[in-house]
Amino acid sequence: MTINKNVSLKPFNTFGIDTIAASFCDITSVEDLKAVLKENHSSPLFILGGGSNMLLTQDVNALVLHINLKGIEVISETKNTVIVKAMAGENWHDFVLWCLDQNYGGIENLSLIPGNIGTAPIQNIGAYGIELKDVFVSCEAINISDQTSKKFTKSDCSFGYRESIFKQDLKGQYIITSINLELTKVNHKLRVDYGAIKTELEASNIHNPTIKDISNVVIAIRQRKLPDPKYIGNSGSFFKNPIISATQFSKLQDNFPEAPCYKISDTEIKVPAGWLIEKAGFKGKRFKDYGVHDQQALVLVNYGHAKGNDIYELAKLIQKTVKRLFNISIETEVNII
């Protein structure tokens, strides 16, 4: 296990922002993780997973621990279901493809979400009507201060929309090392009712879709709407969709009868931030090397050599404008470092 000094973080964040880590250690085993935590207990630490949900606005004056733990295994199975364990450093989408190859169902709607396994529970990743919590059984994590292992069950994690206990009460206290998911082997519960999945399947003349068909459709939709970080730096949705009261939504509808929404409850409505940002005139706007994606206004992009701070200033301008025009606050989903 080597600790390197002054390492560029550009290859380690999907925004492709070039800032420097004071020191950097690639972690490939849980034992190494515990040892490095023990040896460096007084140093500031920065835990890095897939780097797909952060915007670096400055150099990281800390020891960066790059969680690169690998491995996927079946823990147990019944006639109909299987419990699969995946280590934190596995790429999420590669894991989805592995599950599809085994014909394990439950996460096909979550195809092509950037990032690694270890960060998936932190923000309870979700797309097309499914969230990680729907298949989540438990995760293992290491307590940073005393290096003990702890198992968190689904209820321990307090999952919500892009939320979990790891972003709230336990923020910065644990490093997730693996997750266990319960997936189906037969009688897959397909979710085709969300977004464009159904129309896309119909257009492809698929009437009895398999989990692989659904994954392919989700991949096609995402590739059309979301920029690939390999070519254009981005962190997926930069903002969360705001949840407002039904009363406030009906006021919005007075001015914008076409406003899209998802009903959360009788009193709460989720409004797509992408729609608000588009209405505010930002969709496709480019400022030098950064801007707002032209297919999905929820996504901010780095076209080349943007500075994290430029993108952060743009994000603040968007938040201010949306607040002024609609009286709705939109929060960032991405972590600003």
Catalytic residues: 162, 237, 333
State which of residues 50, 236, 242, 291 lies at the interface with ligand EPU (CB under 6 A). Answer: 236
156 binds ligand EPU (CB under 6 A): no
Among 37, 82, 84, 127, indicate the residue that binds ligand EPU (CB under 6 A): 127
Burial class (CB in 10 A: 0-12, 13-18, 19+), 171: exposed
Verify binding: residue 112, ligand EPU, rule CB under 6 A. Answer: no
Length of the chain as a residue count: 337
Segment interacting with ligand EPU (CB under 6 A) among 18-26, 84-92, 185-193, 235-243: 235-243
Is residue 252 left, alpha or beta, with left meaning phi > 0 and alpha meaning psi from -120 to 50?
Answer: alpha
Binding mask 40-79 for ligand EPU (x = CB under 6 A): ----------------------------------------
- Measured distance CA(181)–CA(304) in Å, rounded: 37
Please check whether residue 37 is in contact with residue 55, taking contact to mean a CB–CB distance below 8 angstroms: no
Tell me how many residues contact ligand EPU (CB under 6 A): 19
For Cα atoms 246, 249, 254, give the angle at the middle one, nearest 5 degrees: 130
CB of 145 to ligand EPU, least distance (A): 30
Closest CB to ligand EPU among 34 and 162? 162
Q: How many angstroms from the chain centroid is the CA of residue 90?
A: 14
Residue 262: φ, ψ to 5°: -120, 125
Q: Which two tokens stand for residue 256?
A: 């914008």
One-letter amino acid for residue 210 of the chain: T
**Interface with ligand EPU includes 269 (CB under 6 A)?**
no
Q: Are 92 and 50 in contact (CB under 8 A)?
A: yes
Is 278 a binding residue for ligand EPU by CB under 6 A? The answer is: yes
Q: How far is the CB of 214 from ligand EPU (least distance, A)?
A: 13
Nearer to ligand EPU, 24 or 239 (CB): 239
Q: Chain-centre distance of CA 324, in angstroms? A: 28
Distance of alpha carbon 142 from alpha carbon 146, whole angstroms: 8
Between 73 and 262, name the residue whose CB sits nearer to ligand EPU. 262
Member of 272, 318, 326, 332 binding ligand EPU (CB under 6 A): 272
C-beta separation of 271 from 280 below 8 A: no
312 binds ligand EPU (CB under 6 A): no
The residue ranges that bind ligand EPU (CB under 6 A) are: 127-128, 195, 225-226, 236-237, 240-241, 260, 272, 274-275, 278, 283, 296-298, 333
